[in-house]
Structure 1
Amino acid sequence: MPFVPLLLAGLSAVPSPPASPEATLRAVCQTHAADPGHPWALAHGITLEGRDFRARDGRRAVDVIVSDFLRPGPRFEPFTAEGIPVQPHPALQEKTLVLASVPLGRKFQTPQGPVTLKALVEALQRGFSPALASSPDGAWTLDALGHVLPPGTTFRNGAGESVRFDAVMDEALATLERAQAELAEGMKAGLPQVPKRKQGIYTHPCGGLHFFQAVASWARHPAVRKAWDGRLEVQVEVLLYRLGSEARQYEAALAASPEHRLALLSQSLKFYGHFLETLGRYRKENGWRPTPKQQQTVLRARQLLEATVRRLSEAQAFQRMPTLAQENPQLSWDLLGDACHAAHGLELWK
């Protein structure tokens, strides 16, 4: 039957369908976050894949991070001697391990001897400054401690100061309100957008979304929600408004500055991915049930993220990451970390 070989030949010539945006992001994270010499990348792999994520050398990423990169103190340096990021944001690694549900009693082997995650958390408490409640760099410490300390906790830091953690998180909520005040005013006035001028929430790393996550997560406690009396829900509405405001500005910038297309698309990936992750965590940890209107905004964020991933793929951005690592390390790091956060955001909304 001569038509059978012809049919099979025709089928073999059909190109494979393009990967979905979610599959593309997950592949980028799994491929580039497994470098055992890149602890910051490993942390992002854990964020997506969980505590059993493994480095390319076969070891669990959590073991590589602590065993290879922890210094006496115990502490993590921001960067290695070669300039590779370890935790450019204070407590990023501790927060990653805590949120991945690594047991506090888990022992890690280090050149200084065995160290537990509990010891790392206690070191955060010793080094804690109440000023972190109003600092853009406080997000990761607040998130880490907020997951191990119950409401009502008071501890002493290394300076001998008594730290009441409820008061710290109350100030963190007030900081979030101040940082989003201009966006809140724009929302109330019905403005289509509030220009980004590195003001307010835009002075924070990743647009303040890690800080938002830390504050919102603390409100998973019923007593905290009651004490805050709807204030966090107002900030959630501001965040939902922010999606349209920023999307308009990204599109305008892409049209006006095509020479900066890759950097602008990378910024879009960061915002849309972190936006979905933030609200996904809020739903998972706090039991948030979005209204139909809010659900439409989440759907719109997913559509914007998927469109951004397709544009980045068309620009060969992900395929060029090894080259970018040499030519523009910061951009390559952003693409990797934000791909992991974006894939995690999509996973939380399945």
Structure 2
Amino acid sequence: MTSVTLALLALLSAAPAARPSAEEVLRTQCRTWAADPKNPWALAHGIAAEGRAFKARDGRRAADVIVSDFLRREGPDLRFDTFAADGTPVEPHPNLLVKTLLLAGFPTSQSFRAQGGPVTLGALVEDLKRDFRRDAALSPHGAWTLDALSHALPPGATFTHGAGETVRLDAVMDEALALLEREQAELLAGMKAGLPQVPKRKQGIYAHPCGGLHLFQAVASHARHPAVRKAWGSRLDTQVDVLVYRLGSESRQYDAALTSAPPAYRLPVLVQMVKFYGHFLETLGRYREETGWKPTPEQTRAVEQARALLDGAVRRLDASGAFRDMESVKTAQYQLYLDLIGDACHAAHGLSYWRNHLGG
């Protein structure tokens, strides 16, 4: 080798390794900790981020573990517990697991091994329909039921639940849009008034898990049908505008909280930032992919801002050591441990939607 070549090799070997992207950091976190075969909730988040081929740590396909190890039969009924006996979440939001399998692309004819014999995804959907209750579906924990029904049934579909009432899917989803409008009314008023922010006080949409973004996803996903979009007119467009306004409103509050919080309380703030920015990107990414929505220049800038804000939050969270010390977090703050898994998966998924759409 020439002296020049040797010098170049020396420089290359001395150069620091390329820093992993925020998506790579999050995806590594998701793949590592969502693969726990004893935690079906975590497995579902792994499927959401990685797709239906995602495997549990024991080598089995995550979807197979969820159904074979955790589905229970009660006579003709099929059930997932809310939590396992040791407090591990199984299905804390009704129909989260069925919704996950449907959105992962498993056909309703897909058969899984289960206690007491094989069961199809279609049978799980039929059980969901029998158990359907309008008030539960339109409650803060109902978004996963709405999303599952919208993906299992075509627009215009009807079904009869166990109490004998005939349910029209489109009517339920119309009510879901109206619910979203009511829950975001204060934000809409703030947006129209030009307020820099609307304080979060667990009111309205903030009373919903994950800030109501799963409700937004379920409603917006139903608009993938042209007839639904036509019937709703500009109503959903307004809710998209409100979501973009929320980005500025909430980011100001997170920045203020991070600045004023004592060191011991900064970790939960960073996790909340990852939760919101990740779900924001996932929500608008799903909306674009499922409906063909084309963001305006202002909306595109908002997505770029959310991606930058998420990147910053992930860097600070990674620097805190939380991702590297998950066992200690699990022991000391179990809910935070779960958030570090689920929110990492959602945020990685959200970033993946925009990887090739914003020049990054």
Same fold judged by TM-score > 0.5?
Answer: yes
Report the Cα offset of residue 11 of structure 1.
4.5
Q: Paired residues, what number?
A: 350
The question of 1:98 aligning with 2:102 is answered: yes
Structure 2 distance, partners of 1:219, 1:92, is 20
The question of 1:184 aligning with 2:185 is answered: no
1:133–1:169 CA contact under 8 A, matched in 2: no
Superposition RMSD in Å: 1.4
**Cross-structure match for 1:270:** 275
Equivalent AA in structure 2 for residue 65 of structure 1: I
> How do residues 314-329 of structure 1 correspond to structure 2 at under 5 angstroms?
314-329=319-334
Report the Cα offset of residue 6 of structure 1.
7.5
The question of 1:336 aligning with 2:341 is answered: yes
Report the Cα offset of residue 258 of structure 1.
2.9
Report the Cα offset of residue 12 of structure 1.
3.8
Q: Equivalent residue of 1:102, what SS?
A: coil
**Cross-structure match for 1:290:** 295
The question of 1:219 aligning with 2:223 is answered: yes
Structure 1 distance, partners of 2:50, 2:278, is 16
**Cross-structure match for 1:89:** 93
**Cross-structure match for 2:147:** 143
Q: Equivalent residue of 2:323, what SS?
A: coil
1:133–1:171 CA contact under 8 A, matched in 2: no
Report the Cα offset of residue 131 of structure 1.
1.2
**Cross-structure match for 2:178:** 174
**Cross-structure match for 2:206:** 202
1:243–1:301 CA contact under 8 A, matched in 2: yes
Equivalent AA in structure 1 for residue 43 of structure 2: L
**Cross-structure match for 2:134:** 130
Q: Equivalent residue of 1:320, what SS?
A: helix
Q: Equivalent residue of 2:164, what SS?
A: coil
Structure 1 distance, partners of 2:125, 2:185, is 32
Q: Equivalent residue of 2:245, what SS?
A: helix
Report the Cα offset of residue 159 of structure 1.
1.0
Deviation per residue, 1:72-103 (Å, 9 max, x gap): 12111011112111111111100000000111
Structure 2 distance, partners of 1:8, 1:345, is 38
Report the Cα offset of residue 339 of structure 1.
0.5
Unaligned runs of 5+ in 2: 356-360
1:137–1:205 CA contact under 8 A, matched in 2: yes
Percentage identity across paired residues of the two chains: 65
1:155–1:164 CA contact under 8 A, matched in 2: yes
Q: Equivalent residue of 2:322, what SS?
A: coil
Equivalent AA in structure 2 for residue 280 of structure 1: G
The question of 1:261 aligning with 2:266 is answered: yes
Deviation per residue, 1:156-213 (Å, 9 max, x gap): 1011111111111111000000000000000000000000010000000000000000
**Cross-structure match for 2:354:** 349
Mark the CA change 1:12 to 1:212 in structure 2 (over 3 Å): closer, same or farther.
Answer: same
Q: Equivalent residue of 1:113, what SS?
A: coil
Report the Cα offset of residue 134 of structure 1.
2.5
The question of 1:281 aligning with 2:286 is answered: yes
Equivalent AA in structure 2 for residue 311 of structure 1: R
Structure 2 distance, partners of 1:6, 1:319, is 36
Q: Which is worse superposed, 242-251 or 34-43? A: 34-43
Report the Cα offset of residue 144 of structure 1.
0.5
Q: Equivalent residue of 1:333, what SS?
A: helix
1:87–1:93 CA contact under 8 A, matched in 2: yes
Structure 2 distance, partners of 1:133, 1:91, is 10
Query: TM-score w.r.t. structure 1 length?
Result: 0.97
Structure 2 distance, partners of 1:15, 1:319, is 20
Report the Cα offset of residue 2 of structure 1.
9.9
> How do residues 21-170 of structure 1 correspond to structure 2 at under 5 angstroms?
21-72=22-73, 73-170=77-174
Deviation per residue, 1:282-302 (Å, 9 max, x gap): 000011000111100110010
Unaligned runs of 5+ in 1: none
2:137–2:145 CA contact under 8 A, matched in 1: no
1:312 aligned residue (317, 335, 348): 317
Q: Equivalent residue of 2:113, what SS?
A: strand
Q: Equivalent residue of 2:159, what SS?
A: strand
Report the Cα offset of residue 9 of structure 1.
5.8
Moved over 4 A (4+): 1-11
Structure 2 distance, partners of 1:132, 1:158, is 14
**Cross-structure match for 2:358:** none
Structure 1 distance, partners of 2:294, 2:136, is 30
1:216–1:282 CA contact under 8 A, matched in 2: yes
Q: Equivalent residue of 2:119, what SS?
A: strand
**Cross-structure match for 1:249:** 253
